Amino acid sequence: MADDFKDRGGSPWDSPRGGGNGSGRGPVPPNIEEIIRNIQKTINRFMPGKGAKGGKLLFLGLIILLIIWAASGLYRVLPDEQGVVLRFGKFIKTTQPGLNYHFPYPIETALTPKVTKVNRLDVGFRAGSDSGFSSAGIADVPEESLMLTGDENIVNIDFSVFWVIKDAGNFLFKIQDPAATVKAAAETAMREVIAKSKLQSILTEGRSKIEIETQEIAQSLLDEYESGIQITQVQTQKADPPDQVIDAFRDVQAARADMERAKNEAQAYQNDVIPRARGEAAKILQEAEAYKKQVVAAAEGEASRFLAIYTEYAKAKVVTKKRMYLETMEKVLADVDKVIIDKNAGSGVIPYLPLPALTMKSKGTDTQ
């Protein structure tokens, strides 16, 4: 190979020794300016302008495209939504309502699922419409509704679960089937609560407690799965014994209701009679106490009066007798119609005084 180089002048650049310019300083490097001019000529062939003007237009167009591409990363999250940002398809963060930004496509993309929408899931039955519970168009699902109670009875219970999205990121990427996950968690929680409750409590006053406990257990399961789901309410739609024994159970319930009604009526009668009897007894006792005090006071007064009169009688018997006689006659004659006749009246004078007539006349005058 060295001989070949020597035959061609001894230069590996395939040029005569000493260079093409005859200076003898070795090989000449490529001309950079000439290369740039060649590139510009190539670009100008595809541009509407020529020379520097065409290059400026190309640069300006690239800047505008870059700005538009960067601005495409702006997105708006509505109040009922939550933003989910994906970077090359991988979840990285969630954003709150308002104006947000992410790196433009294809680097990042944003999803905005509705997080305030209340979803409903029925367990134990299937209704014809999701708008509300109705007695028409309902199909019972025994494998979901029949549950074993704590006192080893069977209850047929239907209930609905209402839920919303709590964390959109976990909701979209941590669980595959949200509805099936909620249904499994709610049914598991309900069976656990029913297994600790008695049939009578489930069918009567214990429903609200069962709903609260079921919601708490189901929510803890969903949080453990990192499902991003929040259960807002568990509502019991029906709780009855199995169809085979429901008639007998209703008879027992009717008898129990009659017993409760009789007990309530007896209690009401007791509450009415006993207070009145106690009031009457207290009234009699008070009247007896008052009469006792009255009689004792009257007796003490009569005794004191007798002693006072006896003292005066001992001092002056005649005067005292006369005074006692007059006082007695005054009391006796006070309520008797009287006519006074004066046998010593002179001539021309009526010898009697009709006191009753004068009294009646006096009363009539006072009335007028």
343 phi and psi, to 5 degrees? -75, -15
Quote the tokens at residue 5: 């180089």
Distance CA 161, CA 187 (A): 10
E strands in the chain: 74-77, 83-87, 90-95, 98-101, 108-111, 119-123, 125-127, 138-140, 146-148, 154-165, 229-240, 339-341, 352-354
Residue 76's φ and ψ, nearest 5 degrees, are -115, 135
Longest C-alpha distance within the chain, in Å? 208
Residues sharing a CB contact under 8 Å with residue 302, sequence separation 6 or more, in sequence order: none
Which pLDDT score is estimated for 213? 92
Cα–Cα distance measured from residue 105 to residue 357, given in angstroms and rounded to the nearest whole number: 128
The amino acid present at 368, given as its one-letter code, is: Q
Residue at 363: amino acid letter: K
Residue 117 DSSP symbol: P
Tokens of 96: 């709150």
Q: Collect all residues with Cβ–Cβ distance below 8 Å to 57 and sequence separation of at least 6.
A: 47, 48, 49
- CA pair distance 233, 310, nearest whole angstrom: 96
pLDDT digits (tens, 9 = 90+) for 184-213: 999 999 999 999 988 888 887 888 899 999
Q: What is the pLDDT of residue 89?
A: 67
* Per-residue pLDDT, 348: 56
Q: State which fold the 119-244 domain adopts.
A: Tetrahydropterin Synthase; Chain A (3.30.479)
pLDDT (0 to 100) of residue 151: 81
**Cα separation values, 224 from 46, 179, 182, 190, 295, Å:** 61, 16, 12, 17, 87
Cβ neighbours of residue 244 closer than 8 Å, sequence gap 6 or more:
none
Tell me, what's the pLDDT at 300?
92
Q: What are phi and psi of 91, to 5 degrees?
A: -70, 130
Give just the sign of the alpha carbon dihedral 309, 311, 316, 317: positive
Q: Who's near 260: CB < 8 A, 6+ residues apart?
A: none
Residues whose CB is less than 8 angstroms from the CB of residue 96 and which lie 6 or more positions away in sequence, other chains included: 77, 82, 83
Q: What is the pLDDT of residue 165?
A: 85
**What pLDDT, in 10s, does the model give residues 58-76?**
767 777 777 777 776 777 7
Q: What is the rounded distance in angstroms from the CA atom of residue 92 to the CA atom of residue 87?
A: 7
Q: What is the DSSP string of 234-261?
A: EEEEEEE--TTTHHHHHHHHHHHHHHHH
Report the Cα–Cα distance between both ends of the chain, in Å, rounded.
Answer: 169
The whole-angstrom separation of Cα 130 and Cα 346 is: 122
| Secondary structure class of 184 (helix, strand, coil) | helix
The per-residue pLDDT for range 161-174, each reduced to its tens digit, is: 999 888 877 887 78
Tokens of 207: 């429903």
Write the DSSP string, 283-343: HHHHHHHHHHHHHHHHHHHHHHHHHHHHHHHHH-HHHHHHHHHHHHHHHHHTTS--EEE-T
Per-residue pLDDT, 288: 93
Give CA–CA dist 34/47, Å, rounded: 20
| Segments of the chain with pLDDT less than 50 | 1-27, 50-51, 130-135
